[in-house]
Amino acid sequence: MNRHPFHFEVLARDGSARAGMLHTPHGDIPTPVFAPVGTAATVKGVPPRDLKELGATLVLANTYHLFLRPGADVIAGLGGLHTFMGWEGPILTDSGGYQIFSLKEIRQIDDDGVTFKSHLDGSLHRFTPETVIALEEKLSADVIMTLDECAPPLDRAYNEEALRRTHAWAERCLRAKTRSDQALFGIVQGGVFDDLREQSARFLTALDFPGYAIGGLAVGETKAQMHHTLDVVAPMLPEHKPRYLMGVGTLEDFFESVARGIDVFDCVLPTRLARHGAAFTREGRLNLRNSALAEDRRPIEEGCACYACQNFTRAYIRHLMQANEILGLYLASIHNLHFLLETMRRIRQSIFDGAFAQLWKGGSRTVSSGQ
């Protein structure tokens, strides 16, 4: 194996928007990139074969959920996440911090770590920076995340305390890491407070992580506050390292964030919306359960190259939804993933062509993919 398996290069710029390539042990990731979320080692209802055909180059899995079920030792014993889930491409695991901290009623945080109850059976567990790194090393993803504390974005006192812990935990994660074939990213926190975000960016960049995530956004602040925070943080992050905006996956946010120099995105939205019978289109969300589609011969979206649109009508997919047939959810998921992955490919090409602003202005910025 290459002694330096991780390398990021910026290949083109259009304003602050960047098109690059992140090299990993399991393949190259063209950026900007959208990563479908496979929380429990699966993108819900979509086999790895289909993800590959859709052009996905990075998949996210969740350390918290996999720790609880089936367990990191089980996955390690079966060859690690790539073998376990049958996905040969790059994988990113988050630290599980967001999931734990969102369970306010069943966790306690202290400077050493967090004690929490399983949402599955109420059993008691503890995460520290060291145990999280050990778990992520067992899972064997290509990109792993530090344990951080995601605070309510508008609570300054909470963010000051959480930031102190997040920075101490980042140092401990670095010291605990032993594998050279995984890249550990630091996570910038600080809510909507410019000085805290600047403090976090300075502290973490001094630790020289191979990449940086921006956390604590899309969790309650306004769009304007999120975009302003990106304006503050992105220019402070190293030009030669990837920038990852965690948990964001709407079309509007793709354009707004790429314009500010963000390279990596992930979100559960495309498959979650599909399970609720909604599909992305250039005109906005389409309710696939709508009675008006009962005899509609059109595909979900005219001109779409996805398997669902190439082979099935809105009427048929609506019928599947109404009959509670799993195929309907699958086809909607395939379409929604294709829609976001294809949009990101178009964004990337527009940066090479020097036409990012034109693509944005040309109507894509008005599509309502919502949250």
Catalytic residues: 94, 266
Q: What share of the chain is helix, strand, coil (3-state, %, to 5)?
A: 45, 20, 40
Q: What HEC string does 46-85 produce?
A: CCHHHHHHHCCCCEEEEHHHHHHCCCHHHHHHCCCHHHHH
Rounded Cα distance between 371 and 267, Å, is: 10
Find the helix or strand (DSSP H, E) in which 22 lies: strand 17-24
- Give the β-pairing of 59-62 and 33-36: unpaired
7 beta partners:
23
Phi, psi of 284 (to 5 degrees): 120, -170
Q: Which residues contact 77 (CB under 8 A, 6 or more apart)?
A: none
Rounded Cα distance between 348 and 77, Å, is: 38
10 beta partners:
20
Rounded Cα distance between 243 and 264, Å, is: 6
CB 60 within 8 A of CB 94: yes
127 beta partners:
114
| 116 closest CA partner among 64, 167, 165 | 64
CB 288 within 8 A of CB 330: no
